[in-house]
Amino acid sequence: MRRERYIVEFGMGADLHGGDVTKAAQRAIKDAISHSCLCGLFDILHIQDPNRMDIEVKIGCPHPEKIDRLAVLSAVPFGKTQLEVTEGGLSAAGLTLPALGPGDTIVIAVAALTVYVNVDF
């Protein structure tokens, strides 16, 4: 069996009020997933169980040390996941609206999801 890479998809997510990099990273993952259809894995490779996929998640965000790693990976609906977090993304001054979150910092995270499958050929 060989581990083959099948999909690389990118996404962006932001937290507009409060500077929550975990929230921004989760949104970046959901954005990447929304750009991708896995039909080839099911129709061509005949994958029956989506949990057979290995998904490498790479997040670039300000203050990577503040990421809640388990919460970020919970945004991936299936598969075996691993996470790499690196300095990146963007931080900008926003607007204080306490009803929407603490603080006035906008943070933007970017995500790259790479999907691998073990195949017999």
Helix (H) or strand (E) holding 106: strand 105-119
pLDDT at 110: 98
Q: How confident is residue 44, by pLDDT bands cut at 50, 70 and 90? A: confident
In this structure, the chain runs to a length of 121
CB within 8 Å of 28: residues ≥ 6 apart: 11, 12, 13, 59, 109, 110, 111
As a whole number, mean pLDDT of residues 5-19 equals 94
Give the integer Cα–Cα distance in Å for 52 and 110.
Answer: 25
Give the integer Cα–Cα distance in Å for 117 and 42.
Answer: 11
CATH 3.30.1330.20 applies to domain 2-119: yes
For the chain, the domains span 2-119
Q: Is the pLDDT of residue 101 over 80?
A: no
pLDDT cut 70: percent of the chain above it: 99
Model-level pTM?
A: 0.92
Structure confidence by residue, pLDDT tens digits, 106-120: 999 999 999 999 887
Number of neighbouring beta carbons within 10 Å of residue 9: 16
pLDDT at 115: 95
As a whole number, mean pLDDT of residues 85-105 equals 90
Residue 47, helix vs strand vs coil? coil
DSSP for 60-93, written as a single string: EESSGGG--HHHHHTTS-SSEEEEEEEE-SEEEE
pLDDT at 71: 98
Structure-token pair, residue 73:
């990976």
pLDDT at 99: 84
